[in-house]
Chains A and B, each alone.
Chain A
Amino acid sequence: EIVLTQSPATLSLSPGERATLSCRASQSISTYLAWYQQKPGQAPRLLIYDASSRATGIPARFSGSGSGTDFTLTISSLEPEDFVFYYCQQRSSWPSTFGQGTRLELK
């Protein structure tokens, strides 16, 4: 089973700042990585798939990069509604797995 490790567990920033979230895979997954945002009480929402492709309707301030084992989700200028949870997911092999999540909190 491929293990995804997200860091940091909690990231404290202010609106307007740049956020960099990391996801590391225990073995190479090419670019088979997705990022999701989850707000309290809601289902997750797909932000990025195939490591760097933005899903439909996702603002341009969200971007993804990486390949192999190291991946990054960048939010270029934080909006108030961005201070929620983020998860990465690999679809390279079954079982598909998620990282443990990063909580983005207001500083």
Chain B
Amino acid sequence: DVQLVESGGGVVRPGGSLRLSCAASGFTFDDFGMSWVRQAPGKGLEYVSGINYNGDKSDYIDSVKGRFTISRDNAKNSLYLQMNSLRADDTAFYYCARTGAGLLWFGELFFWGQGTLVTVSS
């Protein structure tokens, strides 16, 4: 069975940093693109960033460009999101998700982790 398990969330002050991790199992990790999607409490879904199967293509929504970095380690079946200069409006559940096979860094999200909560507050 496909499993995606996020970790690394927590409470951080504005301007601080966090690194989220996502451990993947149950599929051939380096065949698939991976993504991060967030959801502020009680709000809708926002597709934050994606990375393709081998890590040479990635992109971000404008509001996190220059502050967040997505990466992957195919040897460790792991996805990461380095978040710097965090702001209050980054407060959300962050979900790791798997896209379809292929060269793109984004797509429909076939499998999701359970999410990790990031709270940015002074």
**Residue ranges of A at the interface with B (Cβ–Cβ < 8 Å):** 34, 36, 38, 42-46, 49-50, 55, 87, 89, 91, 94-101
Contacts and interface: CB of A to CB of B under 8 A. Distances in A.
Given A43-B95, A43-B115, A97 B110 contact: no
B88 interface: no
B77 to A, nearest CB: 19
B108 A34 contact: yes
Contacts, number: 56
Contacts of A44: 37, 45, 95, 109, 112
B92 to A, nearest CB: 13
A101 B44 contact: yes
B52 to A, nearest CB: 12
B114 interface: yes
A94 B61 CA distance: 8
Query: Which of B45, B111, B115 neighbours the largest number of chain A CB atoms within 10 Å of its CB?
Result: B45
A99 B45 CA distance: 8
Contacts of B105: 94
